[in-house]
Structures are given as structure tokens and as C-alpha cells.
Amino acid sequence: VNDDGTVTYTFIIQNYGSGAATAEDEVSVRDTFNPILSDISVSLNETALAVTEGYTYDQATGTFVTVPGVITVPAATFVRDTATGAWTVTPGVTRLTVTGTL
């Protein structure tokens, strides 16, 4: 990516448990972007998050943090093969996307 180019970070959050991660669980993602990004936009499962309501970003340090409880992750699904008895687990997935300019 060239200077002044756009970069996108995608965080795939997976839940292999039988219970969903709810707002009460206060899940949060924290990362420090290096190089530091400017003009960021953030979405959760393709729905835009608003700064301060959904996340904070310190452009001086590159520190990004989602507001605790904004991220929820559905429970995994479990399927048992009747012939073999083997279980297949499909995790619940939430996608957090951060796009910004270098």
C-alpha cells in the first residue's frame, strides 16, 4: 500500500461455545495500528459503528478499542453424524472491519 493509500483490517471473531456472547459479556477488541491510520471507518457485520458509541480511536497513538458490549457473537452450532457419531462444530462468527488511510 502506498503512502496515502487505503488499508482494511478485518477481525474475524469466532465463538465455539454453546452460548452466545451477548452485550452483558462486554466483549471488546483492542489493537494498535502501526502505521497509524487516519480517517477510519468501522463496521460490525457490515453495519457502520459510530465513533464514541461503537469505538474509540486515538490517532496520536493508533490505539483502537471497541466499546465493551457492542460486539456480540452468536453461539456455535453442533451437528452429530448419525452414522459415525462424530460431531461437527461450526463457530458463531462476527466480523469487525476497520478501514483507514496511511
Q: How confident is the model at residue 4 (pLDDT cuts 50, 70, 90)?
A: confident
- Which amino acid type is present at position 6? T
Q: What is the pLDDT of residue 49?
A: 98
Q: What is the largest CA-CA distance in the chain?
A: 58
pTM of the entire predicted model: 0.90
What's the pLDDT band for 27 if we cut at 50, 70, 90?
A: very high
For the beta carbon of residue 62, count every other beta carbon within 10 angstroms.
16
- Calculate mean pLDDT across residues 64-87: 97
The strand pair at 63-66 and 30-32 is best described as antiparallel
Which residue, 91, 88, 98, 34, is CA-closest to 65?
98
Euclidean distance between CA atoms 58 and 61, whole angstroms: 6
pLDDT recorded at residue 3: 78
